[in-house]
Amino acid sequence: MEKKIDNNQAPAELTFDITDERIFHHAVSFGFKGTLDQYNEDTKALPQTTEEETIDKLHRYLNEGGYTEDKEYFARFIAQLDASSTQLGGKEWRTFEVKKRRSNYRMGHGGKAVIALLPAMIFLILFTFYPIINTFIISFIEDFSWARGSGSFAILNYFRRLTEISNWQTGTPPPTPNWGFANYAYAFQDPSFTGAIGNTFILTIIIVPLSVIISLLIAVFLNSIKTLRGFYQTVFFLPYVTNTIAIGMVFSIMFSHESGGMLNQFLGLFGVEPQHWVTMSASKFNSGVAIVVYNVWNSMAFKILVFMSGLQSIDKQYYDASRIDGANRFTIFRRITVPLLSPQILYILITSTIGSFKMYTSVISLFGRSADGAGSFGGSDGLQWLTVVGYIYKNRDSRLAIASAGSVVLLLIVLVITLIQMQVSKRRVHY
């Protein structure tokens, strides 16, 4: 075993050629800076004490029998450190480098990484990565629909069927699938798909700004009070922990069309005639109001919580300074709170716009009593406020390739929203 402590180098550096990496780990754990091929991160360990104290600690550690393997070498190691440290007066910290022969160390970590990642990766590959690719491929196969109901790995099954056809017609080569954008063309010519995009867009541009502004006000107000703050915070957080279907049904019943229904009764106080809100005969405007009210109710909790945690990290000095300068409340809100909260506002805008484009459950939970029962999107045909996700699920069974194309379009919409908002953030967000 070759153990050499090279003391002839520049005094600020020591090089050890050792085979026992534990000595190295030990020195670093006591505050030495060091590098080991595989451990670049470990150089970040910063000393808390002076080097003299650390060497003392190492001595004590050795004497108390803390390090048992190869004591002799460890003692020499410390002595060497000690000697060179005395030369330098023990005030400076030196960086030392441990050169270790390449061992099966990396391989060992690799093996452990495989064990640790395997359970998650098996299921991610089968139920996340494969489906993304598969759905993407299906969306480009024109005549895919005939393979429906086969109930197997969709794409594998499709190619199996193609070979079967060639087997039946002996001698003919397997038919080639018709690749192309036909499914996308179909979807964009389908009024219910373009309608769904329009509906989702309208709902998003109403619900997102409305809920963001109200949540921001509530968060700022909550942050400015002391009495009852905890109570209000709990109340505003409640919608987050509820079941979207369950409360959607409660809203649906509160939106009853009867004259004595909750909302109609309330509007009756202002002389408004009883209205249909979530039934088959409700106007598009009225059912839209129901969707907006429920979604704002449902989505505020998360926003308030994020804004609150952002507000609590703003330095109080900004507020004191602006108050001394005579700024009024609104100026403070506009010039201090909003700019300093811009990372949270941007985050909320991105997540809630994307979330809103995926709207589905919160709509169908309102219209269960219209035309086609559960799964309706309002109106006499159940398609009044059909959303993009709703379109995908409606076509999932009979027109799989169209649904696939729809989901790829949804992915593109999500990507575009993210990119636009990232661009905006470069200019408007103060970190």
Partner 1 sequence: MAQQTHDMYFADEKAHRRWKIGFYSSRIFIYLFLTLFGLFIILPFWFMIVTSLKAPNIYTHELSHGVSLWVSEPTFHNFQVIFGIVTEDGRVIAELTAEEYRQAEINGQISSSYNFGRYFLNTFIFATVSTALTVITTVLAAFAFARLDFKGKNALFAVLIATMMVPGEMMIITNYQTIMGFGWKDTFAGLILTNFVSIFYIFYLRQTFATIPNELYLASKVDGYGEFEYLWKVMIPIAFPTITTITILSVMGAWNAFIWPNLVANGTHPIFGNDMRLVSNGLMSIFSAQAQGKDTIMVAGSMVVTAPLILIFILFRRYIMRGISRSGIKG
Q: What is the SS3 assignment for 102-170?
A: CCCHHHHHHHHHHHHHHHHHHHHHHHHHHHHHHHHHHCCECCHHHHCCCCCCHHHHHHHHHHHHHHHCC
Residue closer to partner 1, measured from CB, 157 or 163: 157
Considering only residues 80 to 99 of the shown chain, the ones binding partner 1 according to CB under 8 A are: none
Q: How many residues bind partner 1 (CB under 8 A)?
A: 118
Q: What CA–CA distance (Å, rounded) separates 155 from 134?
A: 6
Residue closer to partner 1, measured from CB, 253 or 420: 253
* 420 lines the binding site for partner 1 (CB under 8 A): no
Q: Between β-strands 33-36 and 13-17, what pairing exists: parallel, antiparallel or unpaired?
A: unpaired
What is the pattern of x (binds partner 1, CB under 8 A) and - over residues 50-69?
-----------------x--
| Position among 15, 50, 80, 134 found at the interface with partner 1 (CB under 8 A) | 134
Contact window for partner 1 (CB under 8 A) among 167-175, 187-195, 370-378, 422-430: 370-378
Considering only residues 157 to 196 of the shown chain, the ones binding partner 1 according to CB under 8 A are: 157
Pair of tokens at residue 301: 């909790």
Sign of CA dihedral 307, 312, 318, 323: positive
Q: What CA–CA distance (Å, rounded) separates 359 from 352?
A: 10
Which residues on neighbouring strands pair with residue 361, listed in sequence order? none
Contact window for partner 1 (CB under 8 A) among 110-118, 166-174, 182-190, 202-210: 110-118
Query: Edge to edge, what strands does the sheet with 4-6 contain?
Result: 4-6, 13-17, 95-99, 33-36
Residue closer to partner 1, measured from CB, 10 or 246: 246
Q: Are 247 and 239 in contact (CB under 8 A)?
A: yes
* 356 lines the binding site for partner 1 (CB under 8 A): no
Beta-carbon contacts of 324 under 8 Å, excluding residues fewer than 6 positions away, are: none
Taking the complex as a whole, how short is the minimal distance between the CB of residue 169 and partner 1, in angstroms?
26
Contact window for partner 1 (CB under 8 A) among 18-26, 92-100, 163-171, 183-191: 18-26
Q: What CA–CA distance (Å, rounded) separates 245 from 317?
A: 45
* 136 lines the binding site for partner 1 (CB under 8 A): yes
* 219 lines the binding site for partner 1 (CB under 8 A): no
Residue closer to partner 1, measured from CB, 11 or 108: 108
* 33 lines the binding site for partner 1 (CB under 8 A): no
List Cα–Cα distances, 183 to 131, 162, 186, 194, 409, in angstroms. Answer: 18, 20, 5, 14, 11
* 254 lines the binding site for partner 1 (CB under 8 A): yes
Considering only residues 294 to 323 of the shown chain, the ones binding partner 1 according to CB under 8 A are: 297, 300, 302, 305-306, 308-310, 323
* 358 lines the binding site for partner 1 (CB under 8 A): yes
* 142 lines the binding site for partner 1 (CB under 8 A): no
Contact window for partner 1 (CB under 8 A) among 118-126, 190-198, 331-339, 420-428: 118-126
List Cα–Cα distances, 49 to 15, 56, 74, 82, in angstroms. Answer: 22, 11, 21, 15
Q: Is 96 helix (H, G, I), strand (E, B) or coil?
A: strand
* 124 lines the binding site for partner 1 (CB under 8 A): yes
Contact window for partner 1 (CB under 8 A) among 86-94, 234-242, 282-290, 333-341: 234-242
Q: Are 104 and 369 in contact (CB under 8 A)?
A: no
Considering only residues 387 to 416 of the shown chain, the ones binding partner 1 according to CB under 8 A are: 389, 392-393, 396, 400, 403-404, 406-408, 410-411, 414-415
* 28 lines the binding site for partner 1 (CB under 8 A): yes
* 42 lines the binding site for partner 1 (CB under 8 A): yes
Q: Are 130 and 168 in contact (CB under 8 A)?
A: no
* 272 lines the binding site for partner 1 (CB under 8 A): no
